[in-house]
Structure 1
Amino acid sequence: MISIGEELKRYIPIANLIAKTFGKNCEVVIHDLSIPQNSVVYTINNHVTGRKVGDAFDHLVKQVLLSKNFKGDCAANYMTVTEEGKEIKSSTVLIRNSKDKVIGALCINYDLECMKNMKDFLDDFFIVEKESIEDDIEPFEHVMEIVDDLVDRIVGNQDINNLKRKDKIELIKFMDSKGIFLIKGAIEKIANKLNISKVTVYSYLDEIRKNEEI
Structure 2
Amino acid sequence: MEQLAAHPNRVLLQSYFPMASFIASIIGPKCEVVVHDISDPEHSIIFIENGHISGRKVGDGSTDLVLKLLKGGAYREQQFITNYKARGSHGQAFRSSTYFIKNDGEELVGLMCLNIDISHLDVAAEWIQHVLLGGSLSAPAELNAPEENPAAEYLQGNVDDLLHDMITSVLGKVSVPPERLSSKEKMDIVKELNELGVFLMKGGVSQVAKALSISEPTVYRYLQKLK
Range class of TM-score, shorter chain: 0.5 to 0.7
Tell whether 2:89 aligns with 1:111.
no
1:25 maps onto 2:30 in alignment: yes
Largest Rg, 1 or 2: 2
1:208 equivalent to 2:211? Answer yes
Residue 53 of structure 1: aligned partner: 58
Using the alignment, how far apart are the partners of 2:206 and 2:117 within structure 1? Answer: 39
1:183 maps to 195
Offset at residue 41 of structure 1 (A): 0.2
1:92–1:105 CA contact under 8 A, matched in 2:
yes
Distance 2:16 2:88 in 1: 25
Partner of 1:16: 21
Q: Tell me if 1:43 matches 2:55.
A: no
Q: Shift in Å at residue 210 of structure 1?
A: 5.7
Distance 1:3-1:88 versus aligned 2 partners, 3 A rule? farther
User: Offset at 1:64?
Assistant: 8.3
Shift of 1:118: 3.7
RMSD: 4.2
Gaps spanning 5+ residues in structure 1: where?
123-128, 134-169, 195-200
In structure 2, C-alpha distance between the alignment counterparts of 1:49 and 1:132, rounded to whole Å: 15
> What's the offset of the Cα at 1:181?
2.6
**Cα displacement string for residues 69-119 of structure 1 (whole angstroms, at most 9, x for unaligned residues):** 995132211111111111111111111112221110000000002313442
**Structure richer in helix, relative to its length:** 2
Higher RCO (CA < 8 A, seq sep 6+)? 2
Normalising by structure 2, report the TM-score: 0.53
| Structure 1 residues 44 and 77: CA distance shift in structure 2, 3 A | same
Q: TM-score, structure 1 length as denominator?
A: 0.56
Give the secondary-structure state (helix, strand or coil) at the position aligned to 1:79: strand
Aligned position for 1:95: 101
Q: Any stretches of 5+ residues in structure 2 without a counterpart?
A: 5-9, 130-147, 153-159, 171-191, 215-227
